[in-house]
Amino acid sequence: MNFVVVKDYHEMSKRAAVIVAGQIYLKSKSVIGFATGSTPMGMYRELISMYREEKLSFSEMITFNLDEYIGLAKENTNSYHYYMMENFFKHIDIEKENINMPNSNIEDIDKECRGYEKKIAETGGIDLQVLGIGKNGHIGFNEPNISFEATTHQVKLDEETILANSRFFTNIEDVPRYAISMGIQTIMFARKILLLANGKEKADALCKAVTGPITPDVPASILRLHKDVTVIMDEEASFL
């Protein structure tokens, strides 16, 4: 693992954007796995600036998002579909058909999950996967005690995750209890991984993931077995 400690969220976002941009500059048809949540928001803003000011083009990039709630329409402002369109995709020159997000508004979730995996494989696999980390050590919605062998699947959200994500909803009861998430295997098959963490509330999870035992209790700990992971953390999240 490569560790980069930066001063603050702004620096983390800039460094992360440079890594994503570098991937696109070197291979315009890169397959990138993107994440949602508060963590990568600044990175998306930086990438939009690079698109506007530095002529970075995303016209050939193919994307796969990590996860999506079950039970929210795509237009719902809390859906990850909405988040990606509003915070990133609608501001850049990505082709609509190159955007892939799990479709949770479908009867047969298992079929959707199998199809998602198949599509990732058909594109040649993920070149770079961007990840945040949950306070409970989750990556994507792979909650503690998940099987490391899992591919894209339906997950039940942890109480801690429901509580953490309730900040985006009017009532905690409105937070979906289920989601579709890429599995740990899907994530580990990416050629490169970029893990971002900021703020003191992530310090404990990050410390456990990086220095504790490799265990499904802390899903992010599996990343230590990946050959090309860069962790960018701000001083508050740093365990160093």
Exposure string for 228-237, b = 16+ CB within 10 A, e = fewer: ebbbbbbeeb
Task: Give the nearer residue to ligand PGA in terms of CB position, either 38 or 147.
Answer: 38
User: Which residues 138-167 are close enough to bind ligand PGA by CB under 6 A?
Assistant: 138
Task: Give the nearer residue to ligand PGA in terms of CB position, either 134 or 176.
Answer: 134
Interface with ligand PGA includes 37 (CB under 6 A)?
A: yes
Task: Give the nearer residue to ligand PGA in terms of CB position, either 56 or 164.
Answer: 164
Give yes or no for a contact between 162 and 144, defined as CB atoms under 8 angstroms apart: no
> Per the residue annotation, which of 136, 142, 165, 198 is the catalytic one?
136
Q: How many CB atoms lie under 10 A from the CB of residue 8?
A: 13
Please give the structure tokens belonging to residue 133.
């980390």
Per the rule left: phi > 0, alpha: psi between -120 and 50, beta: everything else, 71 is left
> How many residues would you count in the chain?
240
From candidates 23, 30, 39, 238, binder to ligand PGA by CB under 6 A: 39
Task: Give the nearer residue to ligand PGA in terms of CB position, either 13 or 63.
Answer: 13
From candidates 38, 77, 145, 211, binder to ligand PGA by CB under 6 A: 38
Biggest distance spanned by C-alpha atoms of the chain: 46
Residue 171 designated active-site? no
Residue 122 designated active-site? no
Segment contacting ligand PGA by CB under 6 A, of 34-42, 76-84, 97-105, 209-217: 34-42
Interface with ligand PGA includes 200 (CB under 6 A)?
A: no
Give yes or no for a contact between 4 and 233, defined as CB atoms under 8 angstroms apart: yes
Task: Give the nearer residue to ligand PGA in terms of CB position, either 37 or 183.
Answer: 37
CA-CA distance, 53 to 35, in Å (whole number)? 24
Radius of gyration of the chain (CA): 17
Interface with ligand PGA includes 79 (CB under 6 A)?
A: no
Q: How many CB atoms lie under 10 A from the CB of residue 90?
A: 10
Segment contacting ligand PGA by CB under 6 A, of 81-89, 129-137, 182-190, 208-216: 129-137
We find the least distance from the C-beta atom of residue 132 to ligand PGA, in angstroms, to be 3
The long-range contacts involving 107-112, CB below 8 angstroms and separated by at least 24 positions, are: 109/70, 109/154, 109/180, 110/153, 110/154, 112/180
We find the least distance from the C-beta atom of residue 15 to ligand PGA, in angstroms, to be 16
Interface contacts to ligand PGA, rule CB under 6 A:
37-39, 132-134, 138
Tell me the catalytic residues.
67, 136, 138, 143
